[in-house]
Structures are given as structure tokens and as C-alpha cells.
Amino acid sequence: MYLDLENLFSDDQDISQVAATYPSTNALDLTASPRAIGPGATVKCMAQMTAALVGATATMNVRLICSAVTALTTPTVIKETSALVVGTFIAGWTVIFSAPVEAIPLRFLGFDYVIATATTTAGTITAGILWDTQTSDSDWVAETGR
């Protein structure tokens, strides 16, 4: 998967928290120049667990959201997962959401993470605009001992 540092919403964001909703640490301003995301374009966003979520009876929902303010408060939900049990969110778990620009009615785009039923004690997540995905296996072989 190809991500751009300038378009990350969460970069190993710590989501070991009490039950509540936590916005991504960053938001993308869709009106900022020189961005030219216009009508007809599809925005692909990805969230991936970089460390497993831990918390006995916790559940979490991952949501692609937009908001009128950069803090992503009072969000409009564009797409979301259902509330999944904590054991689902192992390192490497990934969700990809695609949305046409017309489905994003507000200026700032980001993610939020809805933790419910219990406190989580560990877990990190990375999320952002997904520019492309790898479509074939790599034949690259790492060499060690040099």
C-alpha cells in the first residue's frame, strides 16, 4: 500500500483509551491549494492496526468522517465498520474505504475510532489517504549479513 506522509490522519496513533470516541490526530483540508480533488474523483482511505488492540471486553468501530472544523468535532460519518470485538484488531488488520468526493460534504476529512464497553490497554493505528495498492507479489529478496 502506498501512503504519503502529508496525507496521514493517524501515524501509529495510540488508541489505548477509555470508552469514548477519538478523532485521528490529523485532518485533511480538502479545500487547501494546490489540491485538486474535484467532482467525479474517488478518495480511497485506509486504516491499519500497527499494534494489536488489547482490552478484555472492548469493541471498536473505525469510521471515515468529515467535519466543518479541523479538530473533527461533530463529524459526519461517511463510512464505518460495525462495532468489532477487540480480538479482531490484530496487527495488520486493515480496512479500506472508498468514497466519491460528492459524498464528502464538509471541508475536513479524517478518521475516528469509537471504543465501547471497556477500556483498551494497548493498540496503535495508522490511517490516511491510500494512493495505490500493490497488485502482485514481490520477487525482491532481502540480503542479510552485509
Domains in the chain (CATH in brackets) are 2-132 (2.60.120.1110)
Cell reading at 136: 502482485
Residues 92 and 48 sit within 8 Å (Cβ to Cβ):
yes
For residues 68 and 42, the model is more confident at: 68
Give 4-62 pLDDT, tens digit per residue: 777 899 999 999 999 999 999 999 988 876 666 666 778 899 999 999 999 989 999 99
Could you give the CA distance from residue 56 to residue 68 in angstroms, rounded to a whole number?
Answer: 35
For residues 41 and 75, the model is more confident at: 75
Give 83-129 pLDDT, tens digit per residue: 999 999 999 999 999 998 888 999 999 999 999 999 999 999 999 99
Could you give the CA distance from residue 15 to residue 33 in angstroms, rounded to a whole number?
Answer: 31
Q: Output DSSP code: residue 134.
A: -
Q: Which amino acid would we find at residue 83?
A: A
pLDDT value of residue 138:
58
